Structure 1
Amino acid sequence: MIPYGRQDISDDDIAAVEAVLRSDFLTQGPAVPRFEAAIMAETGAGYALAVNSATSALHIACMALDLGPGDWLWTVPNTFVASSNCGIYCGAEVDFVDIDPATYVMCPKALEAKLVQAEAAGKLPKVLIPVHFAGQSADMAAIGALARRYGVRVIEDASHAIGARYQGAPVGNCAHSDICVFSFHPVKIVTTAEGGVATTNDAGLAQRMDLHRSHGVTRDPALLQGESAGGWYYEQVALGYNYRMTEMQAALGVSQMTRLTQFVARRNALAARYDDLLAGLPLTRPAQHPDSYSAYHLYPVQVEDRARVFAYLRENGIGVNVHYIPVHTQPFYRARGFDWGDFPASEGYYNRAISIPLYAGLTEADQDRVVAVLAEALNG
């Protein structure tokens, strides 16, 4: 089986994790700050907070922005459920903005129309979460300008996009957002096994996320409300969670980040090769916005008779997948009032979408096999 995605683990990665296992710290040691420094060096952001998953990063980002009951969070339907669930965790209401049918990311025109309606109804969102689907950045200049006009805070869900660029600058620099979140799940560009990072340029937001990831507990003299009784003294000054990243995860991340540029370049080369190999087949290839340099977490194509094509590929050893079933059609969200037909661009994309194999270790021979089997499926 050729999987749709997989990690790339080197001997150096294994040695980095082994070194931690032989060290004095398995948690709350020096590896996590080193990983955060690597993320800041890559993105140019002023702060980076490592946690145990991108879902946790989204949650603490929402908490840092004071999202709560009575507030609204908007995201896109074409994403994993974590992008919207983080709003529910905070007691907020959730709504969606449809995607651009060409690029599969949040459509600025749809966003503007929805903001106009929401302002008239007195229901503007407090937080907006555009998702950089498949590794391609949303049009953050347009989205950021709209957010500033309407007083909306922005969290970029860049779970697919470490190493990507937008208008020549690294995704994660927060030029058009308050906070940006990355994922390091094994099928992502680089991995920490499980893990996430939130970047920001705002010292206050960084401080709040730091508290929320570790029980709301601090030893920082500037935050203590009582007088320190000694070196053992700490205080809980906020409600937080145990979202810390382990030293083993961080050490793996530090090692993996040394190959980020290599990974992204390889994915782009494979994507370009797919573009050529698939040019004559009856399918839609993923379009790229001229302002974007994708990290190519996924290579989604659109085909007719998706169920038959999907089954044929799986039966013939091609481990395809589908990203994503629109969030608003999930039973949990349908119970909250959403239904099929609410966001036609996202639904139209989903009904024809298949993610074919793409990862740094994919060989050209394997890629040729994927294309050959896909051509058989499409030609009946």
Structure 2
Amino acid sequence: MIPYGRQDITQDDIDGVLEVLTSDFLTQGPRVPAFEDALASHIGAPHAVAVNSATSALHIACLALGLGAGDRLWTSPITFVASANAGLYCGAEVDFVDIDAETFNICPKALAAKLELAEREGTLPKIVVPVDMCGQSCDMAAIRALADQYGFKIIEDASHAIGGRYRDAFVGAHGLADITVFSFHPVKIITTAEGGMAVTNDTDLARKMGYFRSHGVTRDADLMEGDSDGPWYYQQIDLGYNYRMTEMQAALGVTQLQRLDAYVAARAARADRYDAELAGLALDLPGRLEDASSSWHLYVIRLQDAASRRPVFEGLRAAGLGVNVHYIPVHLQPHYRRMGFNPGDFPVAEDYYSRAISIPLYATMSDEQQAEVISAIKAEVAA
């Protein structure tokens, strides 16, 4: 079966991990800061904090920005549940903003309208989490302008988007978000098996995320209360978590990062071929934001007839394609339905979900494999 995504592990990756296994450190050694420095340098961000998952990165980003009980976090309904769950972990209320029909990202116009109403009702969010769906940046300039107007903080969930660009900068380095989060799950652009990273321009936020990932413990004398007892001394200065990345994960990240640009270029070439060869079918193809360059984590087609989605999906699976659907709208999950969300609350997101299929796209995909995907889609979808 041709999967919708897959990792690429080379001998360099294996050698890097094996070197850790025979070293003095399996955790809390030199590879984690080396990976943080390499990623920060590559994309041009001042600070990077590595953790064991992008979910953990979202959580510590919320904590660093002071999200808590009585606060509100807004995000997209078309995302993995972690984007919203991070707000619940902090005791905040969670709400959603409908998406743009072409980019699948938060719609700035919908956000502006919801903010105007929230200001009148006294229910403005403390944090908005725009999600770079499929690897394409949100319209961050528009969202930043709204943040400046209404006073909320921005955590850009770029779990799909490492290596993507917004305007002239890499995602994570344009300075329009307070914190940006990346994922290194195996199907993402680069992998550390599991793992995540939070990047920021703010030294204080980076310091806070650093101790939140490690039990709230610090050895930084500047952050301690009172004097140190000696070189062994540490203090728990806040309630933190065990979200640390291992040395083995970081070693894999260092070698994977060296191929990031090549991976993104290969994915973009595959996306261009899909654009060309699937045009003319009864499909809606992904829209492209003028100011952005996607990293193409996913390529999502939308059937023009929602009733045909299941038979087409099953037909593609039967043809040996590991197609998938990203995502079921978060507000329709039972846990969120129990909070009062209902079908019809976010109609653009729900329409997207009713028609969406993610088709195979990964950096090492061959011309022959992509031709097989295209042929199968043409056999299932009428022109």
Normalising by the smaller structure, the TM-score range is over 0.9
8 Å contact kept, 1:270–1:358: yes
Pick from 339, 344, 367: which aligns with 1:341? 344
8 Å contact kept, 2:108–2:139: yes
Partner of 2:63: 63
Alignment partner of 1:369 is 2:372: yes
Quote the Cα distance in structure 2 between the aligned partners of 1:286 and 1:42. Answer: 28
User: Aligned partner of 2:192: which letter?
Assistant: T
Mapping for residues 206-245 of structure 1, pairs under 5 Å: 206-245=206-245
8 Å contact kept, 2:166–2:174: no
User: Aligned partner of 1:315: which letter?
Assistant: A
Alignment partner of 1:257 is 2:257: yes
Quote the Cα distance in structure 1 between the aligned partners of 2:253 and 2:102. Answer: 33
Quote the Cα distance in structure 2 between the aligned partners of 1:187 and 1:71. Answer: 33
User: Aligned partner of 1:8: which letter?
Assistant: D
TM-score (structure 2 length as normaliser)? 0.98
Quote the Cα distance in structure 1 between the aligned partners of 2:59 and 2:302. Answer: 32
Mapping for residues 1-380 of structure 1, pairs under 5 Å: 1-303=1-303, 304=305, 305-379=308-382
| Greater Cα shift, 48-57 or 368-377 | 368-377
User: Aligned partner of 2:253: which letter?
Assistant: G
Quote the Cα distance in structure 2 between the aligned partners of 1:174 and 1:127. Answer: 18
User: Aligned partner of 1:60: which letter?
Assistant: I
Q: Runs of at least 4 residues of structure 1 off by over 3 A?
A: none
Quote the Cα distance in structure 2 between the aligned partners of 1:335 and 1:117. Answer: 24
8 Å contact kept, 2:212–2:240: yes
Deviations 1:279-333 (A, max 9, x none): 1211111010111100000000001310000000111100000000000000000
User: Aligned partner of 1:367: which letter?
Assistant: Q
Deviations 1:18-65 (A, max 9, x none): 111111100000100111011111221110000000000000000001
Quote the Cα distance in structure 1 between the aligned partners of 2:7 and 2:119. Answer: 44
8 Å contact kept, 1:53–1:183: yes
Quote the Cα distance in structure 2 between the aligned partners of 1:197 and 1:279. Answer: 36
8 Å contact kept, 1:35–1:254: yes
8 Å contact kept, 1:79–1:133: yes
Count matched residues. Answer: 380
Quote the Cα distance in structure 2 between the aligned partners of 1:201 and 1:159. Answer: 18
Query: Which blocks of at least 5 consecutive residues in structure 1 are unaligned?
Result: none
Shift of 1:93: 0.1
Quote the Cα distance in structure 2 between the aligned partners of 1:25 and 1:226. Answer: 31
SS of equivalent residue, structure 1 residue 206: helix
Quote the Cα distance in structure 2 between the aligned partners of 1:195 and 1:156. Answer: 17
TM-score (structure 1 length as normaliser)? 0.99
8 Å contact kept, 1:42–1:163: no
User: Aligned partner of 1:323: which letter?
Assistant: H
Quote the Cα distance in structure 1 between the aligned partners of 2:51 and 2:381. Answer: 42
CA RMSD of aligned residues (A): 0.9
